[in-house]
Structure 1
Amino acid sequence: MPARVHAILVVRPDGRTPAAHHLRRTLAALADQSRRVDALTIVVCGDDTGVTAVAAASGAESVISAPASTGFAAATAMATLRLTGDAVWILAQDTAPEPEALSRLVGALELGPSVTFAAPKLVRWDDRAEIVSLGASVTAFGRSVGLADDELDQGQHDAREDVLGADIRGVLVRTEAWRELGGIDRGLVGADEGLDLGVRARLAGARVLLVPTALVAVAGDGVAGLPVPLTGARRRRRAFASRTAELHRRLAYAPPLAVPFLWLAILPTALWRSILQIVRKQPSLVWPEWGAAAVAAVSLPAVARARSGIRTTRKVSWTQLAPLRVTRRDLREQLDDDADSTAPSRRGELRFFTGGGAWLVLGTLVVSIAAFPALAAWPVLGGGGLAPLAATAAQLWAEAAYGLRASGLGTVGPADPFAAVLAIIGSLWPLEPSRALVVLWLLALPLSALGGWFAATRVTDRSLLRFAGGAIWALAPTLMAALSQGRPGAVIAHLLLPWLFYAGSVAHRSWVASGAASVVFAAVVASAPSLAPALIVIWIGAIVLTVILRRGRGVARVIWLVVPAALLAAPIVWHQLRAGNPLGLLADPGLTWLGNQVGADAAGRALLAAGIPTSDIVGWVGFVPGWPTWWVPLLAAPVALLALMAPLTQRWAAGVVLLVIAALGLATAFTAVGVSVAFAQSLPAPLWPGAGLSLAWLGVLGGALAALDVGLAPRLASARTAAAVIVMLALTVLALPSLSAMARGTSTLTNGPQSTLPAYVSAAGREDPDVGTMILTPQNAGGVSSRVVWGGSETLDGQATMISTRSKATPADERIATLTADLVTSTADSAVADLAGYGVSFVLLAPTAAPESDAARAFRLAAATALDQRDDLDSVGETAKGVLWRVTQPTAPRAQASASVHEIARGIALAQFAAVAVALLLAIPTTASRREARRTSRIVGPHWQEGR
């Protein structure tokens, strides 16, 4: 029987919690014990006048001062030197025992000398009906498991006695056993301390008992035990301590032969667990995981001391502890119990099939096949801004990497992020990547309708309005113009924008939405860089709203949205900034093409205000000869008027946000038509305003749906139906010329070509991808455009804005200009030899864009004569792509990238792959994320205070 009980009370005033207040309550609880402690030693870790005064007035036999960095284990070791009793009671500043706690713990030790460790039931500081901890155990792999953590106390665990260990707070240990075991293991850094002490006591042949009737209230913010995870910092600190303790125990408990292998596995395991943390939507725990791994890897002396202590005191085998471990079945049942939730679901049925969504997608597929019937048979899509893709998926991904570019003399630099988007699309048909782009064109309408329908689910739960949202988005003039003119970047951006809205609008709720939105965000910015400023403004606004409306909860998820896009764009951003051409970052990726778009005059801006990006009013000019077209832009008026009504409804806040998005998109379009940063040969090419209009259409469509959803009284349901039908019919009429262009023979789209170079060069390029061709194109305004192309064709993925936006000549450009001048004159005899020295095997005199001017015709004839007169050029003859000559001299190999360039390319690829991989892992839904999603409304806007 313990004749005397000596209590050790450790206090750490860290400034985050009212330590003096908690200490007063703990001391008052000690004074109220029916069985008073015989001696009290207080250890104050840190300098706090209030705490020191309270401790001095407590009547303790001594007050020990220690540095603020002193841990709980070290503090108890200091007090151990002053122990005089038969049992030691371990307390902290925030452990207030109930009056009968100590007498009942002492009663447990009186059951026999084998009982050396008695643990109380820890309850909440402000609610004793909730259990904080009552016993702890481990799995077969050493994971610590609380046996009754965070449960309501209904007496369901009061019959449990023998356990493996318990929380260290409030435990009563025989002084002899405490000294023999060496107290708390300092290598545990604040977690699993009572569990480890219980394991060592069990190995020494002792018993560890729970005393459920002994209650000790804990606040969870003192020096002992894990902190309550109320904030992100506390969650990270808790995770670090728990993982560090687990790794330390694993190394301390393992058989000697297994220790080296477990130590070597620490860092690989940290990598694997980091991936799991991301999949579990807990990326904030990745850094604690690596911190714990680093600490465990260098704490071999602490492991050695722990193993030595166990070896000295152990009297029984490890197998005798097996019955007290948590089995896989027990753990599964406990997790299942934790997963049960009585929270009602606020998410209704999606109703994609029953609500008409499936019929909408099927209908638009039929319309697409009727509008583009020939596409199903075309292997390559050409015309407008289209070109073939690389012949293989491997070449696609090579073009998406930093390194040697597909044009120029040894041009090395970053690829556009759009090349990665094309690589993903082309990889879906790896044997014929160009056919994947054909399929995308054929599926653009149904995919657009699908995206619009899902975006509408964030605004309304009415099936009719969701149907209208999908139809209106598929019929948007911006998509019609991009499809008919062959603008792949604009088409892809239009298809992805509704998914960005769908995931991004709820990114603050979950990491799944944040991860998915970040991937879509990166693809949208890669496909339409001109949208980046507007999207960044929206992103900053989302951060501000999250901070204000949710007090910062979820702000890290919103911040993550731009991380993958930033890493993907970082190489081209760095290049353009170093080149002094920041506006070049806004250039439309892919083939630079002038096309048909509105001008920067008043008439053009009026069309932009109507959501129409082309001067021919998306094909209506000439659609019905002799008919006026002034009325056509008015077809977009109904949806715009409905959107303007959104701020006047009950959901005015959502309406305002959607109109701000529309205004940003319209401002982007207005700015784009007046900005030219890329060049189509010698002509400046304005930015395509359709990407900005797609963003504007997204905001207008959302506002219109919000207005129709809540802006009409229930008795006006028929008016809602009529308004939705009128909008859909108006946009159907607006889209008629674009949908019928191929049938009328006015479409820009063409079948192919398989190669942009003559068949002779294309065949040589299939054999050797490093075959070089110099292409000379006379310009109507005078002069000649000259470029060097490698391989059998120019490809869409091989285009680079670092070249098309270049406004200053590089040394390579000057060499090409010199070679061109030498070739088309008869004075330089070494011109062809110089050309062969760079690895160029062919010279192509391409036709001038029609109509050919007199200056261009004169230059073409003079250049052809000069090239024909050269003995070391063999005329292949006229081709569909121009007049071709072959270099008869032996050509040198093409200049290759240096080893340093390859190293840079590998580093960039690794960083970009890691960012995208993390985003994709975050986007994978889990059972927990789906369960949490069901607790929130699918609609965004009506509950601005959700989750506060």
Structure 2
Amino acid sequence: MPAPVHAIIVARSGESASVQLGRTLDALRDQRTPPAAVTVVVLGDATRVRALSGIGYIVEGIIEARANTTFSEAVALAQPRVAPGSAVWLLAEDTRPDPRALHLLAGALERSPSAAIAAPKLVQQHDDREIVSLGVSMTRAGRAVELAAGELDQGQHDDLEDVLGADVRGVLIRGEAPAVLRPDTALAGADEGLDLGVRARLGGARLVLVPKARVGVLPTGPAAQPRNAIARAWATRRSQLHRRLAYAPAVAVPLHWLSLLPLALWRSITHLIAKRPGEVVPEWGAALTSMVSLRALTRSRRAIRSFRRASWADIAPLRVSRAQLKQRLDDGHGSERGVVSELNFFGGGGAWTVLAALLVNLVAFVSMLAWPAIGGGALLPLRQTVAALWADAAWGLRDLGLGIVGPADPFTGVLAVLGSLSPAAPSLALVVLWLLALPLAALGGWFAATRVTDRAGLRILGGVLWALAPTFLSALVQGRPAAVLLHLVLPWVFHTAVVAHRSWGAAGAASVLIAAALACSPSLAPAFVLLWLLALVLMLAGRRLRGAARLLWLLIPSTALFLPLVIRQLRSGDPWALLADPGVVLPLDAVGRADIVMGFPSVDRAGWEWFAGGVLIDWVPLLLIPLAVLALLSALSPRWRAGYVLLATTLTGLATALLAPGVVVSFAAGVGVSVWPGTGLSLAWLGVVGAALVTLDTVVALRPLRTGASLVAAIAVAVCALPALLAVPTGHAEVQNGPTSTLPALVAAQAVGDADRGTLVLTPLDDGSLSAGVVWGASATLSAQTTLVSTATAPVGDDISATAVDLLSGREFDAAGALARQGISFVLLAQRPQEQDRARTMREEATTSVDQRPGFIKAGQTARGMLWRVDGDIAPRPPLTPSQGAIASLVTLVQLIILLAAVLLAIPTRASRRAARSRSRIVGRMPDEPIVLPRQRIVDHHDVQAAPAAVEAPIIEEPEAQAAREHEPEHSVPEDVDGAEATR
């Protein structure tokens, strides 16, 4: 005779839950073998439940619990009401069993004496043809794996019976089963059914599936996993860690416990690589919770030990092997949704474009092949070691001035990355950068064009126009490394940022590139923030919350890098200094607003002043008119949304460039220097080139007309670039063969590898004043420059000016001893080229004054100026205090963690590459716009039959391509397709 059945139903409070509960109670009344008793546990206010019609005829008791009570805790509250020997049927408000479900479950327990638990087949309540869950197993590491879920029910799994576990909803537990075969209250709302099956196996019993017993469920019930992704990740991981500790042998528990935090760190890295950043915080939360939940762990282990009869060897055959798991999760090696978006870099002319740009670059800068270092303009040598480069990029003691402690400019981090590419000679990296500038720019421009057009010719045009931008060539000729690096980074920012809403991989790459771009040009921060806010508003307006979450990440690495500097400048009371150009401050000629509007950041208009002798300089802007007209026409194109966004980018960059001359925050030789407008023009040029490509791709339909317009624009820009390309060979460029050190050879030789050796550099100025500064090590370096000094309106660190003035005055004091105590070994009286009379007089008087002071050994006249060595014992340079060291470590650690997270997100995986290829590279494509692919073979009839999904669209003939496919519009593709979700 079967044991009586006591049903425990866990329900939430609220009107909707009460309606669901009423339907569940009706299903219990209709059972062929109804339960003997029913207890309802209400999570929250039970007033609505008590008011249900006829509830008193079937429910023997209603228990009111806290709203945050878990399913397992609710079952434990109802357990005392279960009569001894009664089987327990676990249900929830949303479980609607078929009329024969309980009869079949009870019959399975009666037929199989070894079975302690019987589990039904869970199906969708609104569509019983879809399987929600039918059996659960786990891997050796304890990961729960559904054996059948999300499939169309065709009876394909009805032969399943002997499994390790099942979903807890609807399971029937034998009345004679020990009391420990109840859901473990230490679990976090996941894996309760799996845990019950494992416990039954360890007790010598088993869990059997009854596929004929069907229970309809909803995904919102109290026994279902949380719908919120973060809560679900926490519950799953917490349950997994608890089971691992509960099942482990006693001697292994301490080792498992100690491994929780290192394992959380490793899994955080894998989550980021797999593009699942939302699971990082739950991972740490679950690990910390498991570490402190020792009482619950002890209770669970004691319960298992009290009835354990079997070993883990008896359970091993029911586990999922690694090969089985890989086969279960692998969804093939093809593309998603039948769409393949190939890059065609080699077949589409990208490689030839880069090669041609390389040849032009080598011809224009051929003399640089023999340069060991590059100088002139804002160029200085880099550090001699990679370790010193990275030390300059961290918060700490600055190697410029005296006793200056604080954050580094983020630009030093970019230089550290650049110098690390040539570890044996970091300064050589700058020479290589100039030698590869044009091909690198063409490469970036070509890739940026792939987001605008599929046409090979237009992609080539995009690479050429970006490489020949007037602002880029001006930066190369004038020796502005920050501006050159910005121009090389910007197209990659565009390439990744415009699809950052699609996947975490693109968002991670874009965030790193945006941080690099802002490090090279902080003045672009307002423009970037404005464009970011615009994109964020569009995402939120379209209710694309996942895309908005990815966009939110874009500025987080930049914020982490700039925040220490922001705090320092705000405390100094000069927030405008945050917009200063990094690196060496280069004096600017006054450039008119008209020149900026026409696209030129300097008065010589990209070298045309010397090239044409001023005759044609007023006509040079006409060369850029064809490109500007094409850009404006994009607002009338079929892809007008993309045109408007690109034109908005142009206006934002142009506004930044127009405002730059009015922002004077840096100082060179005591003279204020404004922000360079060229960086804003680079952003504007990006928008202009992109908008022009949109016009050529969509408005100009006839191939001859499109080719002609492209050639006119390209030739006009090439002619405009001619003087800049000839500047180095003709000697009209500011870049030149640079020295390996900016200090005299004696200083450089004695200070090699010694960053504690300082040199006081005194520079007479043309107005009769004197500039004083301290250089540490063998040379002034580019990475040692800091805007803390270049933008300072008051002394920063220890003021050396008083000592310098006293040194040159008639005041009697131990000048050599004062300098030696501050770690200064040499005094250099620099001689500037083309000195005026007042500066020459100052230099001569200073030479006489220092010669007369004891403690200074005159080294003689050098190419850099007059040099003296300080006689005596030189004190070591004061290190950071303990508090300063702690701040430096904390700031560096936080920045590294955030940057590492962004880099891990940016690392491509096979799944993320497949997901990217499954969608059109073109952003803003209209639904009726066909994809124009490069030339490829015609797919024959047999290929179409073999892979119908890949050739859904009919093949059409185009002048540019023999095959093309139409695909679904971009907005119809699920927004959350990225690497992790494609893998799942």
Same fold (TM over 0.5): yes
Q: What corresponds to 1:529 in structure 2?
A: 522
SS in 2 for 1:271: helix
Residue 895 of structure 1, aligned match among 863, 878, 883 = 878
Give matches, 1:424-435, under 5 Å.
424-435=417-428
Question: Counterpart of 2:176 in 1: which secondary structure?
Answer: helix
Match of 1:314 among 299, 308, 312: 308
Q: What does residue 263 of structure 1 align with? A: 257
Aligned to 1:281: 275
Question: Does the alignment pair 1:742 with 2:732?
Answer: no
3-state SS of 2:142 partner: coil
Write the deviation string for residues 679-700 of structure 1: whole angstroms up to 9, x where unpaired.
Answer: 1121111111110000000111
Tell me what 1:760 maps to: 746
Contact 2:402/2:797 (8 A) holds in 1 = no
Out of 521, 530, 538, the position equivalent to 2:531 is 538
Q: Which amino acid aligns with 1:620?
A: W
In structure 1, the residue matched to 2:786 is 800
Task: Give 1:639 shift.
Answer: 1.1
Residues 598, 613 of structure 1: 8 Å contact kept: no
Q: Structure 2: how far apart are the matches of 1:371 and 1:342? A: 44
Which of residues 34, 43, 46 in structure 1 aligns to 2:44? Answer: 46
In structure 1, distance between residues paired with 2:503 and 2:522: 27
SS of the residue corresponding to residue 187 of structure 1 reads coil
Secondary structure at 1:103's aligned position in 2? helix
Task: Answer whether contact 1:180 1:313 (CA < 8 A) is retained.
Answer: no
Distance 1:150 1:565 in 2: 41
Which amino acid in the other structure matches residue 856 of structure 2?
A: L
Shift of 1:257: 0.9
SS in 2 for 1:519: helix
Give the root-mean-square deviation of aligned CA atoms.
1.7
AA matched with 1:344: R
Q: How does 1:830-869 map to 2 (within 5 A)?
A: 830-848=814-832, 850=834, 852-869=835-852
Equivalent of 1:292 in 268, 271, 286: 286
Separation (CA, whole Å) in 2 of partners of 1:30 and 1:861: 106
What TM-score results when the alignment is normalised by the length of structure 2? 0.92
Q: What aligned pairs does 1:575-586 form with structure 2 within 5 A after superposition?
A: 575-586=568-579
CA distance in 1, matches of 2:8, 2:223: 12
Q: 1:783 aligns with which of 769, 776, 783?
A: 769
Residue 281 of structure 1 aligns with an amino acid whose one-letter code is: K
Task: State the AA in 1 paired with 2:207.
Answer: V
Matched residue, 1:554 = 547
Identify unmatched segments of 5+ residues in structure 2.
Answer: 926-968, 976-984
CA distance in 2, matches of 1:76, 1:542: 48
Partner residue, 1:945: 971
Does structure 1 residue 366 correspond to structure 2 residue 359?
Answer: yes
2:598 to 602, 606, 610: 610
Shift of 1:146: 1.0
Q: Which residue of 2 aligns with 1:418?
A: 411
Measured against aligned partners, the alpha-carbon deviations of 1:692-735 in whole angstroms (never above 9, x if no partner) come to: 0000001111111111111123xx22111111111110110011
Query: Is 1:402 matched with 2:400?
Result: no
2:654 is matched with which residue?
Answer: 666
Contact 1:55 1:63 in 2 (8 A): no
Question: Structure 1 residue 909 and structure 2 residue 908: aligned?
Answer: no
Residue 809 of structure 1: how far off its partner (Å): 2.6
Q: Distance in 2 between matches of 1:175 and 1:160?
A: 24
Question: Is residue 694 of structure 1 aligned with residue 693 of structure 2?
Answer: no
Q: Which amino acid aligns with 2:597?
A: A
The residue identity in structure 1 corresponding to 2:844 is: L
Change (3 A) 1:543 1:76: same
What SS does the corresponding residue of 1:630 show, helix, strand or coil? helix
**Secondary structure in 1 matching 2:81:** coil
What per-residue deviation string (whole Å, max 9, x for no partner) do you get for residues 430-471 of structure 1? 111000111011111000000000000001111111000010
CA contact (8 A) 2:381 2:739 kept: yes
Matched, 1:682 2:691: no
Shift of 1:256: 1.3
Q: Are 1:926 and 2:920 matched, yes or no?
A: no
Instruction: Tell me which amino acid in the other structure corresponds to 2:694.
Output: A
Return the letter of the residue paired with 1:933.
Answer: A
**What is the distance in 1 between the residues matched to 2:670 and 2:205?**
89
Query: Compared with structure 1, are the counterparts of its residues 865 and 342 closer, same or farther at alpha carbon in structure 2 (3 Å cutoff)?
Result: closer
Q: Secondary structure in 1 aligned to 2:672? A: strand
Give the distance between the partners of 1:351 and 1:550, measured in 2 at CA. Answer: 34
How far did residue 31 of structure 1 move?
Answer: 2.2
Change (3 A) 1:305 1:626: closer
| Greater Cα offset, 153-162 or 366-375 | 153-162
Deviations 1:553-579 (A, max 9, x none): 221211111111111111111111111
Counterpart of 2:162 in 1: which secondary structure?
A: coil
| Distance in 2 (alpha carbons) for counterparts of 1:245 and 1:839 | 60
Instruction: Tell me what 1:31 maps to.
Output: 29
1:911 and 1:767 map into 2 onto residues whose CA distance is: 29
Counterpart Cα distance in 2 of 1:767 and 1:214 = 79
Q: Shift of residue 57 of structure 1?
A: 2.6
Using the TM superposition, give the Cα deviation of residue 58 of structure 1 relative to its aligned residue in structure 2, in angstroms.
Answer: 5.4
1:766 alignment partner, SS class: coil
User: C-alpha distance in 1, partners of 2:314/2:873?
Assistant: 82
Q: 1:703 aligns with which of 691, 702, 724?
A: 691
Moved more, 507-516 or 816-825: 816-825
**Matching residue within 718, 722, 725 for 2:708:** 722
- Which whole-Å CA distance do the structure 1 matches of 2:614 and 2:241 have between them? 82
Q: Give the deviation of 1:180 after TM superposition.
A: 3.2
- Matched with 2:127 is 127
Within a 5 Å distance, the mapping from 1:93-104 to structure 2 comes to 93-104=93-104
Structure 1 Cα separation of the partners of residues 746 and 842 of structure 2? 25
Q: Which amino acid aligns with 1:245?
A: S
CA displacement, residues 283-311 of structure 1 (integer Å, 9 cap, x when unaligned): 11111111111221112222222222212
Kept in 2, the 8 Å contact 1:610–1:637? The answer is no
Q: Residues 381-424 of structure 1: CA distance to partner in whole angstroms, max 9, x if unpaired?
A: 00001010011111111111111111212111111111111011
Query: For 1:582-606, what per-residue CA distance to the aligned partner results, in whole angstroms no more than 9, with x for missing partners?
Result: 11111111111115x552xxxx111
Give deviations 1:458-494, integer Å, cap 9, x for gaps: 0111111100001000000011000000000000000
Is the deviation greater in 832-841 or in 287-296?
832-841
Q: Is the 8 A contact 1:549 1:945 kept in 2?
A: no
**Is 2:326 the counterpart of 1:332?**
yes
Contact kept in structure 1, 2:855 and 2:870, CA below 8 Å: yes
Indicate the residue corresponding to 1:643 in structure 2.
Answer: 631
Structure 2 residue matching 1:40: 3-state secondary structure: strand
Q: Which residue of 1 aligns with 2:115?
A: 115
Distance in 2 (CA, whole Å) between partners of 1:460 and 1:627 is 39
Q: For structure 1, list consecutive stretches of 5 or more residues without a partner in the other structure.
A: none
State the secondary structure of the residue aligned to 1:9.
Answer: strand
Alignment correspondent of 2:106: 106
- Distance verdict in 2 for CA 1:134–1:55, change over 3 Å: farther
Measured in 1, the distance between the counterparts of 2:814 and 2:256 equals 68
Q: Distance in 2 between matches of 1:446 and 1:58?
A: 81
1:630 aligns to 2:618 (yes or no) = yes
What amino acid maps onto 1:445 in structure 2? L
Query: Which structure 2 residues correspond to residues 808-819 of structure 1 after superposition, within 5 A?
Result: 808-810=794-796, 812-813=798-799, 816-819=800-803
3-state SS of 1:214 partner:
strand
Question: 1:246 — aligned with what?
Answer: 240
Match of 2:945 in 1: none
Matching residue's letter, 1:392: T
Kindly indicate whether the alpha-carbon contact (under 8 Å) linking 2:336 and 2:915 is maintained by their aligned counterparts in 1. no
Partner of 2:162: 162
1:709–1:272: structure 2 CA closer, same or farther, 3 Å change rule? Answer: same
Mapped to 2, the partners of 1:785 and 1:342 lie a distance apart of: 64
CA distance in 2, matches of 1:539, 1:403: 32
Cα shift at 1:204: 2.1
Deviation at 1:911, TM superposition (A): 0.8
Q: Secondary structure at the match of 1:277?
A: helix
d(CA) in 2 for partners of 1:330, 1:945? 35
What amino acid maps onto 2:846 in structure 1?
Answer: A
How far apart, in 2, do the equivalents of 1:517 and 1:846 lie? 44
1:870 to 844, 853, 857: 853
**1:147 aligns to what?**
147
CA distance in 1 between partners of 2:676 and 2:833 (Å): 21
Q: Alpha-carbon deviation of 1:888?
A: 2.4
Q: Which moved further from structure 2: 101-110 or 680-689?
A: 101-110
Q: Please state how far the C-alpha of 1:769 moved relative to its aligned partner.
A: 2.8
